[in-house]
């Protein structure tokens, strides 16, 4: 394994951290409705926990209402209960075979809680990126110890890895600023 391989591997792992952060931020509720809110809600489907999106059609009726249409009639009550019991603060109502999930406007206090949640997610992503940097630096140090590269190469690679880390931390900060702005917008 060469220094270039270590850098490439670190960059790929940092990209995965960014993608994971984007997925986590998509789940954070803003004032508008979006189908991604229900992504992590699971329903009991024949004895096994299953994501709602795998047992129903999820669409937007309007800017503040999500429509959930189960593929099986008997799943209506189970899906409604799962949404109500989730920690999203949503109150679904059933109209025949369709479940309507209105998303209430967020209060100022709830918006601030959401911003705290967003910052926590961002800090977790930064920790993940820093851990990747540490692992990459340790891999390079091991290469120096095993006489696979020189100490000058080690110093150069550590600088490169630090620049890579700084680049990804800036991306995380930008994502957090954008999401915070989105959450605080009424």
pLDDT digits (tens, 9 = 90+) for 13-58: 999 999 988 888 877 766 677 777 777 788 888 888 888 888 889 8
**What are the tens digits of pLDDT across the range 109-164?**
878 888 888 888 899 999 999 999 999 999 989 988 888 888 888 899 999 999 99
- Three-state SS string over the chain comes to CCHHHHHHHHHHHHHHHHHHHHHHHHHCCCCCCCHHHHCCCEEEECCEEEEHHHCEEEEEEECCEEEEEECCHHHHHHHHHHHHHCCCCCCCEEECCEEEEECCCCCHHHHHHHHHHHHHHHHHHHHHHHHHHHHHHHHHHHHHHCCCCCHHHHHHHHHHHHHHHHHHHHHHHHHHHHHHHHHHCC
- pLDDT category, 168, cuts 50, 70, 90? very high
Domains of the chain (ranges, CATH numbers)? 3-27+107-184 (1.10.132.20), 35-102 (3.30.1360.40)
Distance CA 93, CA 48 (A): 24
> What integer pLDDT is reported at residue 134 of this predicted model?
94
pLDDT of 106: 73
Contact 26, 36 (CB under 8 A): yes
pTM given for the model: 0.69
């Amino acid at each position: 394994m060469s220094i270039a391989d270590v850098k490439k591997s670190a960059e790929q792992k940092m990209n995965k951290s960014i993608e994971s952060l984007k997925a986590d931020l998509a789940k954070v509720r803003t004032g508008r409705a979006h189908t991604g809110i229900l992504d992590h809600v699971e329903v009991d489907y024949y004895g096994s926990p299953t994501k709602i999106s795998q047992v129903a059609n999820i669409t937007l009726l309007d800017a503040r209402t999500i429509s959930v249409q189960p593929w099986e009639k008997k799943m209506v009550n189970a899906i409604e209960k799962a949404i109500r019991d989730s920690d999203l603060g949503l109150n679904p109502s059933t109209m025949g075979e369709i479940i309507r999930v209105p998303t209430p406007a967020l209060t100022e206090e709830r918006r601030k809680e959401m911003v705290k949640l967003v910052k926590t997610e961002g800090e977790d992503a930064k920790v993940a990126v820093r851990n990747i940097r540490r692992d990459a630096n340790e891999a390079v140090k091991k290469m120096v110890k095993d006489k696979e590269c020189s100490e000058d190469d080690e110093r150069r690679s550590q600088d490169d890895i630090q620049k890579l880390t700084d680049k990804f931390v800036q991306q995380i900060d930008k994502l957090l600023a954008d999401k915070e702005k989105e959450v605080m917008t009424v």
